[in-house]
Structures are given as C-alpha cells and as structure tokens.
C-alpha cells in the first residue's frame, strides 16, 4: 500500500472513530460497545434523594467501552435520576430519561434528540451542546466555558450562569435568564 493511501486510510479511520466516539480500537469488534436497543425502560433504582444511586444509574446507562472516561447513552429509555460526573465526554443521544439528569465537570457534553422528564442540570462543563431536545422541567447551564442551546423545548425555566451561551429557536415556557438567547 502506498504511503499516501495508508495516510488517508489512517486519517479517515481516526476521524470516523472520533466522530462516533468509537470505543473499540482498529480491527477489534466489540459487540458490547453497541448501544442497547431496548423498548422497555431500564430500571435505575435511583431515588430523588440518593446521589450514589443516581451516579450508579448514570454509570449503568453508559455504553460499555475501552475508555472509562467516555459515556455514550444512545437510544435508551430509563426511569430515575441520573448523575454523570466522572466522565471527560458525555453524549446523550435520542434517549428518554425520566428523572433529574445532572452532568458536571466534563470537557464535552452533547445532548441531542433527548426527552428528559425532569430537570437538566449542567454544571462546570467546558463545552456543552443541547440540541433538538425536550425537557419537562428546568434547564440550568452554570459554570463552564461555552454552551450552545438550539431548537429545544423547555417546560420550566432556562438559567445560564457563568458560561458564555449561544443559541436560537428555543421554546421556553418558564423564565429565560440567559441573556440574548432566543
């Protein structure tokens, strides 16, 4: 194989792996790393006042993979509070979570196409994107460096504190305390 072709192959593989947050290395097939496609809610045993149970619930929903500091929750349906605070990267994609969802301290957070029947608490996350999601409670983005909120429906309040926030096409039923955010 020529060096140019090899370099293109390596760059393409790396880009695909980074884009999909692939949890397997080149040439390794890991069926456990694929999202659990389930139509029944995943029980989480987390109570409203039980922080350790909420953290355990978050851990059990994360897609298993080689990197322990990456959490991908995709196409999941779960009951109970969820806390995700031990991850460098957190992605919640096309999932339905019924309870308070708390994400803190991550370098990158993406919540897209999610339905959250509770509050969404986002604290001290460096980069944050919430897009095309529905939250029946309030959304709080505090601390951190930058947040982008686009085309979301929030039944409660939208609060931004300390992070630079951009976005548009958000439908907020409660108070909107995010300056310049529509």
Give the chain's largest Cα–Cα span: 60
Task: Give mean pLDDT, residues 24-48.
Answer: 42
CA 28 from chain center: how many Å? 25
Beta sheet of 108-112, edge-to-edge order: 70-74, 89-93, 108-112, 127-131, 146-150, 164-168
φ and ψ of 124, to 5 deg: 55, 40
pLDDT above 70 for 23:
no
56-94: pLDDT as tens digits: 877 778 865 557 889 999 999 999 999 999 799 999 999
Task: Give mean pLDDT, residues 121-134.
Answer: 95
88-108: pLDDT as tens digits: 999 999 999 999 999 999 999
pLDDT attached to residue 28: 39
pLDDT attached to residue 144: 85
Q: Which of 1-10, 18-27, 53-62, 67-76 is the least confident region?
A: 18-27
pLDDT attached to residue 178: 83
Q: Tell me the pTM.
A: 0.70
| DSSP strands (E only) in 117-157 | 120-123, 127-131, 134-135, 139-142, 146-150, 153-154
Highest mean pLDDT among 1-5, 45-49, 57-61, 154-158: 154-158
pLDDT above 70 for 8:
no
């Amino acid at each position: 194989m020529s060096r140019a072709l090899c370099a293109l192959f390596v760059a393409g593989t790396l880009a695909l792996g980074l884009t999909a947050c692939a949890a397997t290395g080149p040439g390794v097939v890991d069926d456990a790393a694929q999202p659990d496609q389930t139509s029944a809610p995943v029980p989480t045993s987390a109570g409203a006042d039980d922080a350790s149970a909420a953290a355990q619930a978050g851990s059990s929903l994360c897609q298993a993979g080689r990197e322990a500091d990456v959490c991908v929750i995709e196409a999941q349906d779960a009951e109970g509070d969820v806390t995700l605070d031990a991850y460098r990267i957190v992605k919640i994609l096309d999932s339905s979570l019924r309870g308070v969802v708390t994400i803190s301290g991550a370098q990158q957070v993406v919540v897209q196409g999610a339905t959250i029947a509770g509050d969404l608490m986002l604290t001290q996350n460096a980069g944050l994107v919430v897009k095309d999601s529905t939250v029946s409670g309030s959304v709080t983005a505090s601390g951190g460096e930058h947040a982008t909120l686009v085309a979301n429906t929030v039944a409660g309040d939208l609060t931004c504190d300390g992070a630079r926030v951009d976005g548009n096409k958000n439908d907020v039923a409660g108070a909107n305390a995010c300056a310049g955010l529509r």
